[in-house]
Structure 1
Amino acid sequence: MKMIASTKLTQAQRAMQTAKDYGIANNEVVSHATPDGDAGKRRLFVVVSSDRGLCGGIHSSVSKATRRALGAAKPIPEEKVPAADPDSPVMVIGDKSKMQLSRAVAKNLSLTFNQIGKDVPSFADACAVADLITTSGVEYDSVVIVYNKFMSAISYEPAFVEVLPAKALAESPGFKSYEMEEDVTKDLAEFQLANAIFAALVEGHAAEQSSRRNAMDNASKNAGDMIGSLQMKYNRGRQAAITNELVDIITGASAL
Structure 2
Amino acid sequence: MSTMLARRSLARAVAQPAAALGAAPANARNMATLREIELRLKSVRNIEKITKSMKMIASTKLAKAQRAMDAGKKYGIANNEVFNHVPSDKPTPNKLFIVISSDKGLCGGIHSSVSKATRRALANVEDSPLANANANDAKVDPSSSVMVIGDKSKAQLQRQLGGNIQMTFNQIGRDIPTFTDAATVADLIVSSGVKYDSVVLIYNKFVSAISYEAAAMEIKGEAALKESDSFKVYENEDDATQDLAEFSLANAIYAALVEGHACEQSARRNAMDNASKNATDMIGTLQMQYNRGRQAAITNELVDIITGASAL
* TM-score in terms of structure 2 length: 0.76
Does 2:127 align with 1:71? no
* TM alignment of 1:14-93, pairs within 5 A: 14-38=67-91, 40-71=92-123, 76=132, 86-93=142-149
Out of 137, 149, 158, the residue aligned to residue 205 of structure 2 is 149
Structure 2: gaps of 5 or more residues: 1-53, 125-129, 134-139
Shift of 1:43: 0.4
* Cα distance in 2 between the residues matched to 1:124 and 1:4: 25
1:21 CA displacement:
0.5
Contact between 1:50 and 1:94, CA under 8 Å: does it hold in 2?
A: yes
Shift of 1:13: 0.7
Question: What SS does the corresponding residue of 1:70 show, helix, strand or coil?
Answer: helix
Quote the Cα distance in structure 2 between the aligned partners of 1:36 and 1:245: 88
Aligned residues: 248
Correspondence for 2:228: 172
- Amino acid corresponding to residue 280 of structure 2 in structure 1: G
1:139 to 195, 198, 209: 195
Instruction: Please give the per-residue CA displacement for 1:61-105, whole angstroms capped at 9, x wherever unaligned.
Output: 111111111118x9527xxxxxx9542100000111111111011
Letter paired with 1:188: L
Once the two structures are superposed, residues 191-214 of structure 1 have per-residue CA deviations (whole angstroms, 9 ceiling, x without a partner) of 111000000000001111111111
1:144 is paired with a residue whose SS is strand
Select 1:232's aligned residue among 285, 288, 298: 288
3-state SS of the aligned residue for 1:217? helix
Which stretch shows the higher mean deviation, 28-37 or 57-66?
Answer: 28-37
Residue aligning to 1:7? 60
**Letter of the 2:67 counterpart:** R
Change (3 A) 1:36 1:86: same
Question: Do the aligned residues in 2 keep the contact of 1:51 with 1:117 (CA within 8 Å)?
Answer: no
Question: Hey, what's the Cα distance between the residues in 1 that align with 2:241 and 2:111?
Answer: 34
Q: CA deviation at 1:225?
A: 1.4
| Identity between Structure 1 and Structure 2 (%) | 71
Report the Cα offset of residue 248 of structure 1: 2.3
Tell which structure's C-alpha radius of gyration is larger.
2
Secondary structure of the corresponding residue to residue 112 of structure 1:
strand
Measured after TM superposition, the shift of residue 37 of structure 1 is 4.1
Q: Which amino acid aligns with 2:100?
A: V
174-183 or 59-68, which deviates more = 174-183
- Matches of 1:196 and 1:219, distance apart in 2: 34
Query: Aligned partners of 1:21, 1:75: CA distance in 2, in Å?
Result: 27
Q: What's 2:33 paired with?
A: none
Larger mean Cα displacement after TM superposition, 63-72 or 118-127:
63-72
Matches of 1:213 and 1:76, distance apart in 2: 29
Give the distance between the partners of 1:54 and 1:104, measured in 2 at CA.
23
Does structure 1 residue 94 correspond to structure 2 residue 150? yes
Q: Quick one: which amino acid aligns to residue 69 of structure 1?
A: A
Match of 2:163, SS state, is: helix
Q: Are the equivalent residues in 2 in contact too, given 1:41–1:85 (CA < 8 A)?
A: no
